[in-house]
């Protein structure tokens, strides 16, 4: 009996063991060969690794090409169209000479000299040792060289397009394209500017037919775009350019671009340092939104001066790295709502001068030192902002604010310049406490044109020249 029972137990155990092994085998096969199995995962990982390696290889190749290109530029070499590189024998119709020595060459000299002149097709090239390369301008008869090269075919500024610009002459690069197409009023097709050019001052200034430069390729060496598109009165919002990193100077770049209405999406590289008068007299500009300001820019001198259609710029954030607002919104005669002034700004001279629609002034942060002419000629301004203790100069700050009823409560002892501060503020009333420590003549005309008695205006305080300051008023 015992033997039979033992044999039965053994067979059952064996069957159970086999079943368990089969179940485990099934799970293992699924884990290995299923859709989400080990083999499938390994295959996917291998494919992803292959794709990443390919992408990294492409990036590495791009980096190598970029470095090679920069090395070639530094060495004066070029991988572009050989026909745009001239040396040796002069092409038919070309002229080579020297401006300073009045020399004329049958062939290009072995080396270039300061003042070398090369005339070819649509352009005149002038070599400048200071610029380490050639300057290029249109070869027009008004350059004064017609009598020296009477056989040359001079070009007309009224054309809609011009030929290609050379990239090298006598193994020296083109580096400057200042004033190249200035006042070409019919120009619509912009020629390629050589990649070695670093300065494009007024290159397309007053080209009043240009509407779109959104696809224009700027030189990779470009640094200066001063007035490059100034006076391009047909340039549209959608046609604004994409500027390369490396550009530092946008002085008057889009001044008098009177078709611009919205620049809120304009892309500004962080290399930009100067925004002086960048959108000066853009008289149709109504929206700057929260325009991005380069991290390298510390001042907004006259940036929007004369933008007479601006009404509300409250959405514009002046970044904390900006310290100077000299004339930023001056002559914005429709401006009613200002941006918040950050507590990093120290200079506010003429910031809102002649903003004749401005009723309420912004709060002046306690970082500001200079307030001269800040609200001069703001004829609709009713209440003056309070003046923080940090301010030292207030020359003509509220001059001709003829609607201003309430002045600042206190002017601290730190203010030393009060010339014409409240001149012609004919509605001013109440009391102003002036504690500034004056030196002779730094208070002249402070209340000129103000009738204290008629306006019920009183002045108190501890200023050492208080009586003389008061005496600058009328009928004291």
Per-residue burial over 146-179, b = 16 or more CB atoms within 10 Å of its CB, e = otherwise: eeebeebebbebebeebeebbbbbbebbbbbbbb
Residues 309 and 341 in one domain: yes
Residues 172 and 185 in one domain: no
Nearest to 30 by CA among 14, 20, 41, 19: 41
Residues 194 and 156 in one domain: no
Domain interval for residue 199: 181-275+282-293
Nearest to 117 by CA among 130, 129, 104: 104
Tell me how many domains the chain contains. Answer: 3
Digit-coded pLDDT (tens) for 247-305: 999 999 999 999 999 999 999 999 999 999 999 999 999 999 999 999 999 999 999 99
CB 395 within 8 A of CB 422: no
pLDDT for position 74: 47
**Cα–Cα distance for residue pair 404/422, rounded to 1 Å:** 10
Residues 170 and 188 in one domain: no
Last-in-domain residue among 176, 209, 243: 176
- Could you tell me if residue 271 is inside a domain? yes
**Cα–Cα distance for residue pair 394/416, rounded to 1 Å:** 8
- Could you tell me if residue 187 is inside a domain? yes
pTM: 0.81
Residues 271 and 305 in one domain: no
Digit-coded pLDDT (tens) for 338-364: 999 999 999 999 999 999 999 999 999
Please, is 96 exposed, middle or buried when counting C-beta atoms within 10 Å of its C-beta (0-12, 13-18, 19+)? buried
Per-residue pLDDT of the chain (476 residues; tens, 9 = 90+): 443 444 455 666 666 666 666 666 565 555 445 555 544 554 565 565 555 555 555 445 444 444 444 444 444 444 468 889 999 889 988 999 998 888 888 899 989 999 999 999 999 999 999 999 999 999 998 887 777 787 888 999 999 999 999 999 999 999 999 999 999 999 999 999 999 999 999 999 999 999 999 999 999 999 999 999 999 999 999 999 999 999 999 999 999 999 999 999 999 999 999 999 999 999 999 999 999 999 999 999 999 999 999 999 999 999 999 999 999 999 999 999 999 999 999 999 999 999 999 999 999 999 999 999 999 999 999 999 999 999 999 999 999 999 999 999 999 999 999 999 999 999 999 999 999 886 667 899 999 999 999 999 999 999 988 888 888 776 54
Residues 288 and 312 in one domain: no
CB 463 within 8 A of CB 436: yes
Residues 439 and 366 in one domain: yes
The DSSP line for 398-409 is TTT-TT--B--S
**Cα–Cα distance for residue pair 234/476, rounded to 1 Å:** 55
Residues 219 and 142 in one domain: no
Residues 323 and 470 in one domain: yes
């Amino acid at each position: 009996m015992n033997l039979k029972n033992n044999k039965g137990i053994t067979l059952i155990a064996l069957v159970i063991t086999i079943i368990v092994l089969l179940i485990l085998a099934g799970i293992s096969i699924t884990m290995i060969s299923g859709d989400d199995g080990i083999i499938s995962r390994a295959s996917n990982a291998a494919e992803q690794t292959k794709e990443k390696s390919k992408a990294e290889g492409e990036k590495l190749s791009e980096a190598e090409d970029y470095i090679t290109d920069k090395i070639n530029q530094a060495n004066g070499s070029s991988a572009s169209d050989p026909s745009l590189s001239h040396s040796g024998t002069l092409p038919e119709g070309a002229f080579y000479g020297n401006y300073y020595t009045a020399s004329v060459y049958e062939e290009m000299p072995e080396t270039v000299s300061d003042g070398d002149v090369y005339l070819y097709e649509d352009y005149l090239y002038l070599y400048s040792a200071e610029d380490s390369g050639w300057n290029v301008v249109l070869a027009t008869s008004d350059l004064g060289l017609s009598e020296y090269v009477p056989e040359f075919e001079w070009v007309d500024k009224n054309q809609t397009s011009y030929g290609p610009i050379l990239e090298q002459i006598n193994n020296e690069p083109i580096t400057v394209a200042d004033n190249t197409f200035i006042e070409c009023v019919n120009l619509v097709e912009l020629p390629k500017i050589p990649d070695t050019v670093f300065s494009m001052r007024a290159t397309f200034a007053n080209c009043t037919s240009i509407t779109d430069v959104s696809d224009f390729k700027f030189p990779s060496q470009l640094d200066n775009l001063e007035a490059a598109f100034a006076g391009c009165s047909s340039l549209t919002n959608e046609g604004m350019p994409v500027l390369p990193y490396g550009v530092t100077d946008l002085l008057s770049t889009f001044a008098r671009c009177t078709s611009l209405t919205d620049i809120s999406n304009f892309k500004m590289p962080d290399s930009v340092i100067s925004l002086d008068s960048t959108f000066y007299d853009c008289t149709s500009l109504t929206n700057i939104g929260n325009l991005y300001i380069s991290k390298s820019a510390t001042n907004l001198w006259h940036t929007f001066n004369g933008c007479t259609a601006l009404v509300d710029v409250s959405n514009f954030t002046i970044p904390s790295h900006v310290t100077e607002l000299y004339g930023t919104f001056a002559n914005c005669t429709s401006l009613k709502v200002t941006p918040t002034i950050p507590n990093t700004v120290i200079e506010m001279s003429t910031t809102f001068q002649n903003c004749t629609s401005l009723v309420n002034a912004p709060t002046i942060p306690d970082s500001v030192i200079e307030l001269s002419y800040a609200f001069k000629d703001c004829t609709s301004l009713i209440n003056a902002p309070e003046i923080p203790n940090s301010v030292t100069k207030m020359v003509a700050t509220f001059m001709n604010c003829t609607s201003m009823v309430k002045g600042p409560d206190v002017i601290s002892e730190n203010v030393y310049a009060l010339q014409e501060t409240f001149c012609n503020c004919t509605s001013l009333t109440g009391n102003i406490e002036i504690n500034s420590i004056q030196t002779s003549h730094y208070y002249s005309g402070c209340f000129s044109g103000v009738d204290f008695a008629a306006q019920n205006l009183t002045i108190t305080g501890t200023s050492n020249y208080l009586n003389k300051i008061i005496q600058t008023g009328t009928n004291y």
